[in-house]
Amino acid sequence: MPQIFHHSTNLISRLSIYGAAFVAVLAGYVVYALSGSPYVTDVNEAKDQPVPFSHKHHAGELGIDCRYCHTSVETSPFAGLPPTQTCMTCHSQIWTNAAMLEPVRASYRDDKSISWTRVNALPDFVYFNHSIHVAKGIGCTTCHGPIANMPLTWAANTLQMSWCLGCHREPEKYVRPKEYVFSTTYEAPSNQLELGAKLVKEYKIRSLTDCVTCHR
């Protein structure tokens, strides 16, 4: 009986076995890399807004406190987006004719809300609470990044679960003194771990990694 398979088949079979394993691993890596990539998470991608609002100008250059607009950040799960009225406290006085601000004036005039595009989004099954983070010494920029340098706002972090857990497992790496929570220029000191450990004790921060902390 003649040989059915040529000798080269051995190579092909070896290649296909190792190749299949390689492809499987590669596919896994692609999925992993993709899920954390800006393509999926929109990290560092500025979003178009009805009004090109600049945090760089307002928070950075003018130094307006975060809480002037995000009023409920200390009391509520939701930090709050400013109502048109808040914009108009200043813009009824300055830049009253700027074309860029027409949607704001129109909103105020017609009593119709401005529809902003959400930049930092969590899935609906995640229950995040701003007020407790702020109360425990987690600064705005820890999650929202260099907001004072953003002409248009982008998400600075993936907000994925592994990222959240990074801090929930080791809060001492990120916690800052409460007086700097709303500072947009705060930089972690070189002795962060030492300071962090002290603050964790002082603020009674517990490493909360129970699922129901965020999911329910």
Partner 1 sequence: MSDAFKIFGNRSEGNHDAGAPAANERHHDGDAAVIRSGHYPLDLAAARAALAQGDGKRFWRSLEELAGTPESEAFLHHEFPNDPEKELPRSNGVARRDILKLMAASAALSGLSACTKLPTEKIVPYVRPPEEIIPGKPLFYATSMPSTNGAMGLVVESHMGRPTKIEGNSEHPGSLGSTDIFAQASVLGLYDPDRSQVVVHEGRISDWAAFFTAIANAPADWQTNKGAGLRILTDATTSPTFAAQMKALLAQFPAAKWYAHEPCGPYNAREGARLAFGRYLNSIYRLDQADVIVAIDSDFLCSGSTSVRYARDFANRRRAENPSAEMNRLYVVETTPTNTGAMADHRLALGSAEIGVFARALAAAIGVSGGGSSSAAPAVVPANWIAALARDLQKHRGTSLIIAGEAQPPAVHALAHAMNQALGNAGKTVMYTDPLEVSPETDGLAELIKEMDAGQVNALVILDSNPVYTGPADLDFTSKFLRVGLRIHLGLYSDETAELCHWHVPEAHFLEAWSDARAYDGTVGIVQPLIAPLYDGKSQHEFIAILAGDNGKSGHDIVRNYWNSQRPAKASDKQFEDFWETTLHDGVMAGTAYPVQAAAANLASAGNAPAAAQDSGSGMLSVVFRPDPTIGDGRHANSGWLQELPKPLTKLTWDNAVMLSPATAEALGVTNGDMVKLSLGGRGVSGPVWIMPGHANSTATLHLGYGRRRSGHVGTGIGFNAYLLRTSGAGWIAGGLKIEKTGDRYLLATTQQHHQIEQNGKKVEEESVNAFERDVLRIGTLEEFRKNPNFASDPQEITTKRTSLYTDYKYEGYAWGMAVDLNSCTGCGACVLACQAENNIAVVGKEEVIAGRDMQWIRVDNYFRGDLDNPESYYQPVMCQQCENAPCEVVCPVGATVHSDEGLNEMIYNRCVGTRYCSNNCPYKVRRFNFKLFSDWTTPSLFGLRNPNVTVRSRGVMEKCTYCVQRINAAKIESEKEDRSVRDGEIVTACEAVCPSRAIIFGNINDKESRVSKLRTQSRNYDLLGELNTRPRTTYLAKLRNPNPEISEA
Interacting residue with partner 1 among 6, 99, 118, 179 (CB under 8 A): 118
Specify the DSSP element, H or E, that contains 69.
helix 66-69
- Is residue 179 part of the contact set for partner 1 (CB under 8 A)? no
- Is residue 89 part of the contact set for partner 1 (CB under 8 A)? no
Specify the DSSP element, H or E, that contains 106.
helix 102-110
- Is residue 132 part of the contact set for partner 1 (CB under 8 A)? yes
Least distance in Å: CB of 94 to partner 1?
Answer: 20
Cβ proximity of 143 and 176 under 8 Å:
no
Residues from 48 through 87 that contact partner 1 (CB under 8 A): 72, 75-78, 80-85
State the Cα torsion 166-168-170-176 to the nearest 10°: 110
Interacting residue with partner 1 among 9, 10, 96, 117 (CB under 8 A): 117
- Is residue 14 part of the contact set for partner 1 (CB under 8 A)? no
Q: Rounded distance, CA 59 to CA 183, Å?
A: 10
Cβ proximity of 170 and 142 under 8 Å:
no
Q: Provide the mask over 137-176, with x wherever binding to partner 1 is found by CB under 8 A and - wherever it is not.
A: ----------------------------------------
- Is residue 99 part of the contact set for partner 1 (CB under 8 A)? no
Distance of CA 148 to the CA centre of its chain: 14
For the beta carbon of residue 195, count every other beta carbon within 10 angstroms: 16
Residues from 183 through 212 that contact partner 1 (CB under 8 A): 204, 206, 210-212
What's the sign of the alpha-carbon dihedral 26, 30, 31, 33?
Answer: positive
Q: Identity (one letter) of the amino acid at 181? A: V
Least distance in Å: CB of 82 to partner 1?
Answer: 6
- For partner 1, the binding residues (CB under 8 A) are 28, 31, 34-35, 40, 42, 72, 75-78, 80-85, 107-108, 111-118, 121, 123-125, 127, 129, 131-132, 135-136, 204, 206, 210-213, 215-216
